[in-house]
Structure 1
Amino acid sequence: MAIEKLSLVGLELTSLRTLQSLIANAVRLRHFTFVQNTSPEFQPGMESTNSLKGLESNTLEYLHWDALIPGSGTTLVANSIASGRLPALRKVKVPCDYEGAVQSLCRPIARERLTSGDMELLARFSGSERYERNLRLAQIQAQRRIIECRKQPE
């Protein structure tokens, strides 16, 4: 019996290498959810060329990566998508993609209207030094990046 769906929630895993191995060896994994407060990192001395390649899976279709406090994990996800190491991936959710690294690689929602309430929520959290797990805030920030990108000349 092979694992097709796996959710790791609130485990506070510290090793990116462990997650890489898990995803690479779950040969039928289609749906992966990862949610915790801290970002897993490469352990000192463990950064090899293989480690830096990223996550690899020929079967993964859905990825939800939610590490509240930013770190190397989100960058690893972005690098994995950019390098084509997740060829079956069709849907990705990274609500704590504060810099838009993953969003810049994925097809965005074509048009989502931002309301005055959305702008108030954005203003309330702008410049905040704390991290929030707020999906609507992440969606608003993503939509703002899309709007700004459209304004730039090609």
Structure 2
Amino acid sequence: MRPALDVGLTVPAAAAASRARELAACGVDGLFTFEGPHDVFFPLVAAALAGIEIDLYTNVAIAFPRSPFHLAQQGREMQDLAGGRFALGLGTQVRAHIERRYSARWESPVTRMAELVGLLQAIWQAWETGGTVDHRGRHYRLDLLPPVFRP
């Protein structure tokens, strides 16, 4: 069994569909984006709509400047667009970038990431089951999930 061959999709969203098709034709198994010169999600949206069947993932999406609800929505939408072939890779970045580039708080990155991942799982489960989320943690609070906001 050969290992999977994944490569970076490092073009703007406007060029991502054609680049994704080119790479898929070369036998690439998956494409990833990173939080660099382009938004981490938009090129993957274009790739997902390009009519190819390869894995797509973020490597990585910087978690702390984004709200858990937005990440849950983005992950869910990407999973739907990619036909179940999307993986949401999250990262913390470093303090200087979080505070000075993203203008967000840097605080206890390990426990904050653990809380965020648990909250994402709770949101996705609530969407699947029709349940609720009542989370009051150290870093995040989410206790409002009306039906109008469920996918």
Class of the TM-score when normalised by the shorter of the 2 chains: 0.3 to 0.5
| TM-score using structure 2 length | 0.41
* Structure possessing the higher relative contact order (Cα contacts under 8 Å, 6 or more residues apart): 1
